[in-house]
Amino acid sequence: MPEVYNWQLGRKMHYPYAERHPRSQFAFVFNINRCIACQTCTMACKSTWTFSKGQEYMWWNNVETKPYGGYPQSWDVRLLGLLDETHRKAARNAQWDASQQRGSAQAPYGTYEGMTIFEAARSGDRRDQVALGYEPTDVEWRSPNFYEDTATGSEAVPDKLSMKPASLPAHDTWFFYLQRLCNHCTYPACLAACPRGAIYKRPEDGIVLIDQGRCRGYRKCVAQCPYKKPMFRATTRVSEKCIACYPRIEGKDPLTEGEPMETRCMAACVGKIRLQGLVQVGDDGTWKEDRYNPLYYLIKTEKVALPLYPQFGTEPNGYYIPPRWVPRAYLRQMFGPGVDEAIEKYSFPSRELMAVLQLFRASQKIVYRYEIIEGEKIFERTINGKPWVLYNDTVVGFSKSGKEVARVTVEEPKYVRPDRHYNSI
Ligand code: SF4
Ligand code: SF4
Ligand code: SF4
């Protein structure tokens, strides 16, 4: 099996196909700290792409409550269990080595020394699989929102309501919302698993699609995508998945007059937690330096947004700003060893990060570049013994063709309604 380089793992890994990369890659950043689980994103996708007969159980975008929720039910707990078992049998540990390499562009989170799902399939009893996985049962697909808003019990008094007030760095009783869609992975397990060669990754934007004409409904992608994002449609007997709203990415929506547009689930986000775009990729798979692309800045420069379960090995292109109040061990398992640095950066944001965070949902057009215009100091205080200052900077976003599409200040402007309105304050 060929070897490919996975920068999220800081090492080479096995993958059934030789390394080949798109010119640019569809990617997104979700700020978990801001999600209110309104499910507007979920319904935006559903009402656009999966409203027909046979698609009742298809939720290409879903928002689940962690740690207990998941769609399909317990998708990550089940796969983590299979991975653990494979490591145990092979007498290996699924550990990260956060050594000297850490912080470099080639290994920003250190090196993962455990097995990915591709390596685990080769090592374990499931040699019939390209990637370690399982096919969820019908019962597990029956509802998109198991355990909605269900918090953990307190560690000190399990199964009882904790009366302890919550405080950072980790709450005693906690839950959070995890927003999920296909990650349009760099090394997609769905594509690797398909015996029909029906799944492909587009060279222009890295979007992963299922060719409906070639698919025969064997459901290998359903079993082997670690994120469980391909879904089988019983009426047509083929699998379907998120298409990254590709007509929008291609600038075909009349609203944006040819400019690439953010997808339905991104553009509809009420909590302003989502920012989506395209990053430029070199022939060797590394992201080309693009310092003022907001995604490049958040993921590569500031390292405040992290991949979901990087240890699975598919190099997912969805990134998350981790929730501040959740116990770190849980977060490290979910987002890797970059969690502590990401939370530190997000909790005490730099001047630039504070400005870039304002770009979330500031425009329906994809922002390719930003500029910051410095404003005056509006607030200062000492946090953890260190001075912290807030400036009212303005961030300006530009589209693919270089047109200004967003202009937002750090301090939200106030508008006073004239007193001729009955409800003026
Ligand atoms: S629309 Fe935004 S805030 Fe609402 S559930 Fe989706 S991601 Fe969360
Ligand atoms: S998330 Fe799953 S379906 Fe999407 S590209 Fe990755 S492996 Fe394929
Ligand atoms: S990108 Fe488009 S197709 Fe994919 S989950 Fe979002 S709305 Fe659905």
Q: Over the stretch 47-73, which tens digit does the pLDDT of each residue have?
A: 999 999 999 999 999 999 999 999 999
Residue among 180, 183, 242, 308 whose CB has most ligand 2 atoms within 8 A, to mutate: 183
Residue of the CA atom closest to atom 4 of ligand 1: 38
Ligand 1: lining residues by beta carbon, under 6 Å:
35-41, 63, 179, 269-271, 273-274
Mean pLDDT is lowest, of 142-151, 192-201, 309-318, for: 142-151
Length of the chain: 425
Residue of the CA atom closest to atom 5 of ligand 1: 37
pLDDT confidence tier of residue 424, bands split at 50, 70 and 90: low
Q: Are 308 and 335 in contact (CB under 8 A)?
A: yes
Mean pLDDT is lowest, of 113-117, 160-164, 180-184, for: 160-164
Domain boundaries, the chain: 3-347
Ligand 2: lining residues by beta carbon, under 6 Å:
182-185, 188-190, 208, 225, 227, 229-230, 241, 314
Contacts of 105 by beta carbon, 8 Å cutoff, 6+ apart: 7, 286, 300
Task: Please provide residue 255's backbone torsions phi and psi, each rounded to the nearest 5 degrees.
Answer: -60, -30
Going 65 to 80 to 144 to 191, the CA torsion angle's sign is positive
Ligand 1 atom nearest residue 63's Cα = 5
Q: Are 48 and 59 in contact (CB under 8 A)?
A: no
- The pLDDT, as a whole number, for residue 100 is 62
Helix (H, G, I), strand (E, B) or coil at 52: coil
The amino acid occupying position 260 is: P
CA distance 315 to 308: 9
Q: Are 355 and 373 in contact (CB under 8 A)?
A: no
- The pLDDT, as a whole number, for residue 418 is 78
Residue 101: pLDDT above 70?
Answer: no
**Strand ranges for 57-103 from DSSP E:** 62-66, 96-97
- The pLDDT, as a whole number, for residue 425 is 60
Q: Which two tokens stand for residue 192?
A: 């690797």
Ligand 1 atom nearest residue 44's Cα = 1
Pairing of strands 24-31, 318-321: parallel
- The pLDDT, as a whole number, for residue 262 is 97
d(CA 71, ligand 2 centre) in Å: 14
The amino acid occupying position 164 is: K
